[in-house]
């Protein structure tokens, strides 16, 4: 196995450790007067990590004044105000509660006109590059093996782009959208190569329904059929799992 994994009793404990790693990174960059470039994820998996970061800000004075964030993805089309948007999610769970500068928050914009999207995606990549690249990328994983919204078939060299959501992904999102017919058919996502360029990657997976995809991701052959398997080629990735998600390893 090339991917390093750590198994915790539960997601509460695991999330605290991950938040602590992020906090330590932010503070070490602060000490060197440098920006800290974080790649962030949505979904249920990172919620407790964000809650712990908010607690560290409120109770232990952790500052995000030197932090620049890039989110992985956003549904398309999607307005920012929609409470199903990843824009809304990130503000609700993290940005509204910390001292990050609004101009340092980057989330793919689900309102960009379709004819402007290619250029928008190129610019998103460039913005990450010009910031110095991602120091840390937080990931969840979909049951299709997607990271961000890189669905099966995503090329290892893919960059930020518009993608079509897999049927299973739409099934999993259907409860958030009050039925599968309301789930957006597409999304903007950072590419596999965008993610793999991050200096450090931590993927979170909790619960029995992730056990099968975690096994296939860590122990299976590297293939675009399960884009998360490309993480096997990254030399600083850790899978942080609870006992249920690790139960088939
Ligand atoms: C969505 C997101 C992914 C996330 C996945 C898993 O599809 N685009 O980034 O990893 O959901 O979600 P959850 O953490 O709720 O299981």
What is the pLDDT confidence band of residue 1, given thresholds at 50, 70 and 90?
low
What is the pLDDT confidence band of residue 100, given thresholds at 50, 70 and 90?
very high
Predicted ipTM > 0.90: yes
Q: Please say if the pLDDT value at position 215 is more than 80.
A: yes
Rounded mean pLDDT of 25-33?
A: 98
Of all protein residues, the one whose alpha carbon is nearest to atom 10 of ligand 1 is: 140
**20 phi and psi, to 5 degrees?**
-65, -40
What single string gives the DSSP state of each residue in 41-63?
--SSTTHHHHHHHHHHHHHH---
Q: Please say if the pLDDT value at position 204 is more than 70.
A: yes
d(Cα 126, Cα 213) in Å, to the nearest integer?
Answer: 32
Considering only CA atoms, which of 136, 139, 148 is closest in space to residue 36?
136
Rounded mean pLDDT of 113-139?
A: 98
Measured in angstroms, how far is the CA atom of residue 141 from the centroid of ligand 1? 6
Q: Please say if the pLDDT value at position 222 is more than 80.
A: yes
Q: What is the structure's pLDDT at 3? A: 85
Q: Please say if the pLDDT value at position 237 is more than 80.
A: yes
Beta strands in the chain (DSSP E): 4-8, 36-40, 67-71, 73-76, 105-106, 136-139, 161-164, 186-189, 201-205, 237-242
Told to judge if 103 belongs to the known catalytic residues of this protein, a careful annotator would answer no
- Pick the catalytic residue from 125, 151, 172, 242: 151
Measured in angstroms, how far is the CA atom of residue 241 from the centroid of ligand 1? 15
Rounded mean pLDDT of 238-242?
A: 98
Please state the domain extents for the chain.
4-242
d(Cα 7, Cα 95) in Å, to the nearest integer?
Answer: 28
Walk across the sheet containing 67-71 and list its strands.
Answer: 4-8, 237-242, 201-205, 136-139, 36-40, 67-71, 105-106
**229 phi and psi, to 5 degrees?**
-65, -20
d(Cα 245, Cα 8) in Å, to the nearest integer?
Answer: 10
Measured in angstroms, how far is the CA atom of residue 67 from the centroid of ligand 1? 23
Q: What is the structure's pLDDT at 69? A: 99
Q: Please say if the pLDDT value at position 14 is more than 80.
A: yes
Measured in angstroms, how far is the CA atom of residue 44 from the centroid of ligand 1? 7
What is the pLDDT confidence band of residue 99, given thresholds at 50, 70 and 90?
very high
Q: For residue 151, what are its two tokens?
A: 């669905």
Question: Which atom of ligand 1 lies at the shortest distance from residue 143's CA?
Answer: 6
Question: Which atom of ligand 1 lies at the shortest distance from residue 207's CA?
Answer: 16
Q: Please say if the pLDDT value at position 49 is more than 80.
A: yes
Site residues for ligand 1, CB cut-off 6 Å: 41-45, 72-73, 140-142, 148-149, 169
pLDDT, one tens digit per residue, over 162-177 is 999 999 999 999 999 9
Q: For residue 98, what are its two tokens?
A: 């910390």
Of all protein residues, the one whose alpha carbon is nearest to atom 6 of ligand 1 is: 142
Rounded mean pLDDT of 80-95?
A: 98
- Give the CATH class of 4-242: alpha beta
The pairing of strands 67-71 and 36-40 is: parallel
Question: Which atom of ligand 1 lies at the shortest distance from residue 73's CA?
Answer: 8
pLDDT, one tens digit per residue, over 106-121 is 999 999 999 999 999 9
Q: Please say if the pLDDT value at position 2 is more than 90.
A: no
Rounded mean pLDDT of 87-99?
A: 98
Q: What is the structure's pLDDT at 181? A: 97
């Amino acid at each position: 196995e090339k991917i390093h994994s750590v198994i915790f009793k539960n997601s509460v404990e695991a999330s605290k450790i991950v938040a602590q790693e992020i906090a330590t990174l932010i503070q070490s960059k602060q000490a060197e007067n440098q920006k800290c470039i974080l790649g962030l994820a949505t979904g249920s998996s990172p919620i407790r990590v964000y809650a712990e970061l908010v607690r560290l800000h409120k109770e232990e004075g952790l500052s995000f004044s030197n932090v620049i964030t890039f989110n992985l993805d956003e549904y398309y089309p999607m307005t920012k105000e929609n409470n199903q948007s990843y824009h809304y999610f990130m503000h609700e769970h993290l940005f509204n509660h910390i001292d990050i500068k609004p101009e340092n928050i980057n989330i793919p914009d689900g309102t960009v006109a379709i004819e402007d999207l290619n250029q928008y995606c190129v610019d998103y990549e460039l913005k990450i590059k010009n910031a110095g690249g991602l120091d840390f990328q937080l990931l969840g994983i979909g049951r299709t093996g997607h990271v961000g919204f890189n669905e099966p078939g995503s090329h290892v060299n893919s960059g930020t782009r518009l993608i079509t959501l897999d049927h299973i992904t739409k099934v999993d999102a259907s409860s958030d959208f009050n039925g599968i017919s309301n789930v957006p058919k597409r999304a903007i996502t950072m590419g596999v190569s965008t993610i793999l360029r991050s200096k450090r990657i931590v993927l979170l997976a909790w619960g029995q329904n992730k056990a099968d995809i975690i096994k296939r991701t860590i122990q299976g052959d590297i293939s675009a059929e399960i884009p998360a398997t490309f993480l096997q080629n990254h030399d600083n990735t850790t899978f942080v799992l609870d006992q249920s998600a690790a139960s088939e390893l």
